[in-house]
Amino acid sequence: MTREALVVGAGLAGSLTAVYLARRGFHVRVLERRGDPRAPGAREEGRSINLGLSQRGIVALREIGLLERLAPLTVPMRGRVVHLPDGTLRFQPYGVAEDQILHSVLRHDLNVALVDEADRLGVGFSWGRRVTAVDRAEPAVTTDDGTAHTADLVVGADGAFSAVRTHLGRGRRMDLHQEFLEWGYKELLIGVGDDGRPRTELRALHVWPGDEGLIVAHPNVDGSLTATVFLPFDGPHGFAGLTGAERVRSFFDRRFPDTLTLIPDLVEQFLAHPPASLVTVRTAPWHVTADEGRGIVLVGDAAHAVYPFFGQGMNAAFEDCSVLDRCLAAHPDDLPAALARFETTRRPHTDVLADLSKRNFVELRDKVRSPLFTARRKVDLALHRLFPNTWVPLYTLISHTTVPYGEALTRARRQDRVLGGVTAAVAGAALAGLARRSRNKGRWS
Amino acid sequence: MTREALVVGAGLAGSLTAVYLARRGFHVRVLERRGDPRAPGAREEGRSINLGLSQRGIVALREIGLLERLAPLTVPMRGRVVHLPDGTLRFQPYGVAEDQILHSVLRHDLNVALVDEADRLGVGFSWGRRVTAVDRAEPAVTTDDGTAHTADLVVGADGAFSAVRTHLGRGRRMDLHQEFLEWGYKELLIGVGDDGRPRTELRALHVWPGDEGLIVAHPNVDGSLTATVFLPFDGPHGFAGLTGAERVRSFFDRRFPDTLTLIPDLVEQFLAHPPASLVTVRTAPWHVTADEGRGIVLVGDAAHAVYPFFGQGMNAAFEDCSVLDRCLAAHPDDLPAALARFETTRRPHTDVLADLSKRNFVELRDKVRSPLFTARRKVDLALHRLFPNTWVPLYTLISHTTVPYGEALTRARRQDRVLGGVTAAVAGAALAGLARRSRNKGRWS
């Protein structure tokens, strides 16, 4: 007998879940509040932000056979280019191996590819439908047209402000931690130059660190880059204070001088859009079970929204889908057991990711340009080169492996103790030459 | 010009806020989801739990001139009677001074007195009205009958699951931390004996500590006591496992043997009611301002719900009302300034209370019966007797003073360091005799 699955949300997590479930033999329907992303003009409606696809996301896309097809839509990023206020550029490679790179991709392109693939597998989509109620006992989801959709498995993949989660928590003991960063963001386009070529190195993530503001830019296949400007909401140098053209220009001129060259219409772009906010959400439980082996589960941002500073939001969501699929495979005839296993094995790791993503905000803001941080990072990478399997930096573990987040942190802490201890002093001296060599080897230009 | 105030919630915090605002010259209307607590039969509808009124609550009731009138409705509690599994009773006085006592009062009686007082001051009440929307810009509150109530000041006093808070947070950066305890509670009545007299000491709070379950009982003016049984929700000895009469009886017989004597129909009472849950809520911001010096603010559980284990939920809510009133007095013509001052001065302290209330759960559960804890507490109280103004135990600071929660904690930590350090060893020996004496002096029986 075919089992029915209902996925709420056709964003990245929702459409990927739909693909996995369809491949596992479920009859799948997806409900989405917005319109079809494949419709003409839809690209402009959605969030245009591009994302860094790393190992966890890559593994999931490979599992569903979509990776090869996506390749032309991505730009490889081999490391960070750090832009310092004095105009200096500094390159920090992501890792030591050829495959330790990230891939920049537009959210919209990826979403369309996933929806197309789900469509191909027979998944049905209902666009423009808002969830108005969830019946936990059935389970069933009612939409704003009055239809009650029942299913064996309901998946809430409807984002950080998930309606499924809200309804799931009503009158139940559901923990919820929702925390906004005092910083927000705006996106600016670094268009291609008048000669039709990229205005800066394309195959890297660009970072402008700073304690008063922070910019990150991802490359696009057309040669442009999308810069995300992170600033405090309040204060004279925050979004609230940067109101007139003169103030904006003088702020960027002082803090991020080269951006005015890279983005000739920076001031106009900056003033044209309101700032968006950043939220961390943790919740528990993620699932409920109903009679006859039915149940509801949350995945992606609905279960664990994180700040974007470790570049893991999408990758963690994709890994959720992959882990959920493995749990369903392990309990083919016992959905409640599969959901319980999913939550038990997965939640501790995404809790760790939430903390790491907060920590990386501080790192990107304050430390990336510090000589001590840079030196330590070099020693870290040099040790990784010497002992590629036993010494792996935290960033590498998170971005270039599928070691669960919690285990990655434990391992990195152990390494940190070594790095901070006697060994570090000895190794530091011994590795100085190696680090120098590796820096030259690792240069991208 | 008379300013309009709208209070959502006619519970303890809401009705007290209404009284304060009416006394300050506001024209006040209160909206309440439930019916009038003064209606016949209303007592049975609401939560019957009784509460321990301590200094912060007392000060607020004195400020509005209601304390004397409430006295006949309260029972003084001079300390804790600890019931040990072997049948031993141990008395722990709350403090050293005559006024360091708590007053047990029924939530219902207190609520009726406050509603009556508000009524007398001309406050209007709308019963049975649910909030369906909040307009932050106006501000205005819409109820389920379609009426939009505008006001200069809107106060959300609608409890831990505040509708005002939810609407206030929509589409805004509002932090919310909601956390449920893995333990819940049921209430049991310790009726008067067949001789018409209390079955146990009436002028004390009774505590049955234990790591598998915890009971607290408050006295009532009619000679009965209300016991609150706290148990884990899950597990064989939790609410989920204690299903049949035999299991319930054997559990209480083993863990809390004297309760079966005090409550002859314990098993029937226990099985008759579903368990209730316990929640901690922290949120920020507590207030928003609108044009023309208007605003919305949260007070009481809507702003900061805490576990009941420090007995401070109501007292903190009452102190909120008192602090808010002082802020309004300090800024008579500037409501936004008053609300900002209220949040800035008050929130750090209720955040501390949330932590202390969690910590006291562990203390009540694990430590009250431990000899080390008892000894330390005795030294603490003995030092308080020696240096009544400079050495004040944390419990005393929280319950018997109005020292802000955060300052109380800072002061207690300083004392703890002394108590844990060299001085403790010296003082411990020197004070052993004193503690012995004081224990005898402090005995209630």
Q: What sign does the CA torsion over A436, A438, A439, A445 have?
A: positive
Looking at the domain assignment, is residue A99 inside a domain? no
Whether residues B179 and A178 touch (CB distance < 8 A) is answered with: no
SS3 at position A203:
coil
Q: Are residues A245 and A339 in the same domain?
A: no
Is the pLDDT at B197 greater than 60? The verdict is yes
Q: What pLDDT score was predicted for residue B137?
A: 94
Q: What pLDDT score was predicted for residue A45?
A: 43
pLDDT 10s digits, A154-163: 999 999 999 9
Q: What pLDDT score was predicted for residue B218?
A: 96
Whether residues B175 and A180 touch (CB distance < 8 A) is answered with: yes
Q: Are residues B127 and B55 in the same domain?
A: yes
Question: Band of the pLDDT at B368, cuts 50, 70, 90?
Answer: low
Q: Which two tokens stand for residue B184?
A: 């819940």
CATH number at residue B154: 3.50.50.60
Is the pLDDT at B166 greater than 70? The verdict is yes
Strand order in the sheet with B50-53: B50-53, B102-106, B75-77
Q: What pLDDT score was predicted for residue A372?
A: 67
**Pairing mode, if any, of strands A304-305 and A276-284?**
antiparallel
Question: Band of the pLDDT at A317, cuts 50, 70, 90?
Answer: very high
Looking at the domain assignment, is residue B197 inside a domain? yes
pLDDT 10s digits, B57-70: 999 999 999 999 99
Q: How many Cβ atoms sit within 10 Å of the Cβ of residue B79?
A: 20
Question: Band of the pLDDT at B178, cuts 50, 70, 90?
Answer: very high
pLDDT 10s digits, B84-125: 888 889 888 877 777 789 999 999 999 999 999 999 999 999
- DSSP-derived letter for residue A233 is S
Residue A176 has its nearest CB partner, among B173, B176, B277, at B176
Looking at the structure of chain A, the number of domains it has is 3
E strand or H helix at A156: strand A153-156
Whether residues B175 and A178 touch (CB distance < 8 A) is answered with: yes
Which of B241, B272, B303 represents a domain boundary (last residue)? B272
Beta-bridge partners for B276: B185
Is the pLDDT at A346 greater than 70? The verdict is yes
Q: Which two tokens stand for residue B355?
A: 């932590």
Task: Identify which of A74, A75, A78 has the alpha carbon closest to the alpha carbon of residue A96.
Answer: A78
ipTM of the complex, rounded to two decimals: 0.79
CA A418 to chain centre: 30
- How far apart (Å, rounded) are the C-alpha atoms in residues A10 and A287? 19
Q: Which two tokens stand for residue A228?
A: 């995300």
Q: Are residues B123 and B236 in the same domain?
A: no
* Average predicted confidence (pLDDT) for chain B: 89
Q: Which two tokens stand for residue A413?
A: 């802490």
Question: Band of the pLDDT at A445, cuts 50, 70, 90?
Answer: very low
Interface test with A, best of B179, B282, B307, B351 (most A CBs within 10 A): B179
Q: What pLDDT score was predicted for residue B432?
A: 54
Q: Are residues A247 and A129 in the same domain?
A: no
Q: What pLDDT score was predicted for residue A298?
A: 98
Is the pLDDT at B441 greater than 80? The verdict is no
Q: Are residues A187 and A316 in the same domain?
A: no
- How far apart (Å, rounded) are the C-alpha atoms in residues B132 and A67? 47
Question: Band of the pLDDT at B44, cuts 50, 70, 90?
Answer: low
CA angle A46, A49, A50 (to 5 degrees): 125
Residue A175 has its nearest CB partner, among B173, B175, B178, at B178
Is the pLDDT at B321 greater than 80? The verdict is yes
Q: What pLDDT score was predicted for residue A429?
A: 54
Residue written as tokens 């590629």?
A: A388
Beta-bridge partners for B227: B188, B217
Is the pLDDT at B437 greater than 50? The verdict is no
Query: pTM surpassing 0.80?
Result: yes
Which of B326, B346, B363 represents a domain boundary (last residue)? B363
Question: Band of the pLDDT at A7, cuts 50, 70, 90?
Answer: very high
Among residues 228-247 of chain A, which lie with CB inside 8 Å of chain B? Answer: 233
Q: What pLDDT score was predicted for residue B161?
A: 95
Task: Identify which of A174, A147, A189, A154 has the alpha carbon closest to the alpha carbon of residue A44.
Answer: A189
- How far apart (Å, rounded) are the C-alpha atoms in residues B12 and A142? 37
Q: How many Cβ atoms sit within 10 Å of the Cβ of residue B87?
A: 9
Among residues 187-226 of chain A, which lie with CB inside 8 Å of chain B? Answer: none
Residue B179 has its nearest CB partner, among A175, A179, A233, at A175
Whether residues B180 and A180 touch (CB distance < 8 A) is answered with: no
Q: Are residues A28 and A167 in the same domain?
A: yes
Question: Band of the pLDDT at B212, cuts 50, 70, 90?
Answer: confident
pLDDT 10s digits, A58-70: 999 999 999 999 9
Which of B318, B338, B363 represents a domain boundary (last residue)? B363
Q: What pLDDT score was predicted for residue B413?
A: 87
Q: What pLDDT score was predicted for residue A100?
A: 85
For the segment A263-277, the average pLDDT, to the nearest whole number, is 95
Looking at the domain assignment, is residue A83 inside a domain? no
For the segment A403-410, the average pLDDT, to the nearest whole number, is 93
From chain A, pick out residues whose CB is under 8 angstroms from the CB of B178: 174-177
Is the pLDDT at A444 greater than 60? The verdict is no
For the segment B131-152, the average pLDDT, to the nearest whole number, is 96
Q: What pLDDT score was predicted for residue A94?
A: 79
For the segment A12-17, the average pLDDT, to the nearest whole number, is 98
Question: Band of the pLDDT at B431, cuts 50, 70, 90?
Answer: low
Q: What pLDDT score was predicted for residue B440?
A: 44
- AA letter at A217: A
> Considering only A130-139, A161-170, A230-239, B208-217, which range has the smallest mean pLDDT?
B208-217
Looking at the domain assignment, is residue A437 inside a domain? no
Task: Identify which of A294, A300, A37 has the alpha carbon closest to the alpha carbon of residue A165.
Answer: A300
Distance from CA of B178 to the nearest CA of A (A): 5
Task: Identify which of A348, A344, A338, A363 has the alpha carbon closest to the alpha carbon of residue A316.
Answer: A348
Whether residues B177 and A180 touch (CB distance < 8 A) is answered with: no
For the segment B395-399, the average pLDDT, to the nearest whole number, is 88
Q: Which two tokens stand for residue A16?
A: 């990927």
Interchain contact B277–A (C-beta under 8 A) = yes
**Pairing mode, if any, of strands A79-83 and A89-93?**
antiparallel
Interface test with A, best of B161, B166, B170, B180 (most A CBs within 10 A): B180
Q: What pLDDT score was predicted for residue B334?
A: 96
For the segment A352-358, the average pLDDT, to the nearest whole number, is 94
pLDDT 10s digits, A92-132: 887 777 778 999 999 999 999 999 999 999 999 999 999 99
Looking at the domain assignment, is residue A260 inside a domain? yes
Q: Which two tokens stand for residue B18?
A: 């209404």
Q: What pLDDT score was predicted for residue B439?
A: 46
Whether the Cβ atoms of residue B132 and residue B143 lie closer than 8 Å to each other: yes
- Helix, strand, coil tally for chain A in percent (to 5): 45, 25, 35
Whether the Cβ atoms of residue A76 and residue A102 lie closer than 8 Å to each other: yes
Q: Which residue has the higher pLDDT, B318 or B310?
A: B318
Residue B145: give the domain boundaries. Answer: 4-75+106-179+278-363
- How far apart (Å, rounded) are the C-alpha atoms in residues A130 and A113? 23
Distance from CA of B276 to the nearest CA of A (A): 10
- DSSP-derived letter for residue A138 is T
For the segment A396-400, the average pLDDT, to the nearest whole number, is 89
Q: What pLDDT score was predicted for residue A249?
A: 97
Q: Are residues A337 and A408 in the same domain?
A: no
Question: Band of the pLDDT at B429, cuts 50, 70, 90?
Answer: low
From chain B, pick out residues whose CB is under 8 angstroms from the CB of A277: 173
Whether residues B176 and A173 touch (CB distance < 8 A) is answered with: no
Whether the Cβ atoms of residue B52 and residue B103 lie closer than 8 Å to each other: yes
Among residues 161-180 of chain B, which lie with CB inside 8 Å of chain A? Answer: 173-180
Q: Are residues A152 and A10 in the same domain?
A: yes
Q: Which residue has the higher pLDDT, A383 or A258?
A: A258
Q: Are residues A229 and A351 in the same domain?
A: no
- AA letter at B86: D
> Considering only A243-247, A277-281, A399-403, B367-371, which range has the smallest mean pLDDT?
B367-371
Looking at the domain assignment, is residue A125 inside a domain? yes
Q: Are residues B24 and B10 in the same domain?
A: yes
CA distances from B408 to A13, A226, A391, B353, B356 (A): 47, 51, 47, 10, 11
Is the pLDDT at B325 greater than 90? The verdict is yes
* Average predicted confidence (pLDDT) for chain A: 89
Question: Band of the pLDDT at B141, cuts 50, 70, 90?
Answer: very high
Is the pLDDT at A420 greater than 90? The verdict is no
Question: Band of the pLDDT at A290, cuts 50, 70, 90?
Answer: very high
Q: What pLDDT score was predicted for residue B442?
A: 36
Residue B180 has its nearest CB partner, among A173, A179, A279, at A173
Q: Which two tokens stand for residue B422?
A: 């060299």
- How far apart (Å, rounded) are the C-alpha atoms in residues B338 and A141? 44
Looking at the domain assignment, is residue B445 inside a domain? no
Q: Are residues B211 and B248 in the same domain?
A: yes
Q: Are residues A194 and A206 in the same domain?
A: yes
- How far apart (Å, rounded) are the C-alpha atoms in residues B209 and B5? 44
pLDDT 10s digits, A159-199: 999 999 999 998 899 999 999 999 999 999 999 999 999 99
H, E, C per residue of chain B: CCCEEEEECCCHHHHHHHHHHHHCCCEEEEEECCCCCCCCCHHHHCCCCEEEECHHHHHHHHHCCCHHHHHHHCEEECEEEEECCCCCEEEEECCCCCCCCEEEEEHHHHHHHHHHHHHHCCCEEEECCCEEEEECCCCEEEECCCCEEECCEEEECCCCCCHHHHHHHCCCCCEEEEEEEEEEEEEEEECCCCCCCCCCCCCCEEEECCCCCEEEEEECCCCCEEEEEEEECCCCCCCCCCCCHHHHHHHHHHHCHHHHHHCCCHHHHHHHCCCEEEEEEEEECCEEEECCCEEEEECHHHCEECCHHHCCHHHHHHHHHHHHHHHHHHCCCCHHHHHHHHHHHHHHHHHHHHHHHHHHHHHHHHHCCCHHHHHHHHHHHHHHHHCCCCCCCHHHHHHHCCCCHHHHHHHHHHHHHHHHCHHHHHHHHHHHHHHHHHHHHHCCC
Q: What sign does the CA torsion over B102, B106, B108, B114 have?
A: negative
Q: What pLDDT score was predicted for residue B438?
A: 46
Looking at the domain assignment, is residue B98 inside a domain? no
From chain B, pick out residues whose CB is under 8 angstroms from the CB of A178: 174-177
